[in-house]
Amino acid sequence: MSERVKAHIIVLADNPYGEGHKMLTALSPEFGKISISAKGARSAKSPFLAACQQFCYSEAELSVGKNGIYTLCEADLIHSFYGLREHLDTLFLTSELAKKTLMMAREEDPDPELLRLILNSLYYIASGKRDLALVRAVFDIRLLSDQGFFEFPAEVRSQGTADALMHVTGKDLKELFAFRVNDAIREELINIAASEMRNFDHNVI
């Protein structure tokens, strides 16, 4: 019998395969980025139907496969984030955040802070606070900072921007979005995040 393990997982990508099955790419604080085979998950009668959608966060029991692919045995849904898929603007943003998270995540290399970052961002977006451009900027800055790729600008326009950057890069993730900025600081944070992400993409490529 294959070894079974328990893990918290968030589905960041789900793809159909075979006759009614899904292949999930998920992030887990216990095992990092993993691939999970969810047999029958596309069936309307599947007990896994709800837990195997993108952004769904669950407590799962997995069977460990010899080829590095886990098999989903049980899944208790914690949060579906269903509302994020109902609006194009939030769907577009959250899909973008999921892709960036997958880009940074490493196969079977636990990174609990990365999981907390994507989860806290999804919870914040789902709360109905709609400044999505600022959410993207804050997420990008914190993601790059946590992974060691963010460089503080040599100059910023105001002390307020400097304070905001210190908050975004240093505060506990549960307080990540607990700050307010005026329009000028907001625009500067968005520009800094975009510039840093371009630099990262250029260096990676």
Name the residue type at position 58: S
The CA distances from residue 43 to 39, 40, 144, 170, 175, in Å, are 9, 6, 38, 44, 39
Q: Whole-prediction pTM value? A: 0.92
CA distance 128 to 124: 7
Calpha distance 37→16 (Å, rounded):
10
- State residue 204's pLDDT score: 64
58 CA to centre of own chain: 14
pLDDT along the chain (205 residues), means of 10: 87 92 94 93 89 95 87 95 90 95 90 95 89 96 96 92 97 94 96 94 65
Q: What is the pLDDT of residues 108-164, one digit of tens each?
A: 788 999 999 999 999 999 988 779 999 999 999 999 999 999 999 989 999 999 999
pLDDT at 108: 78
What confidence score (pLDDT) does residue 19 get?
86
- Quote the pLDDT of residue 178: 93
Beta bridge partners of 76: 59
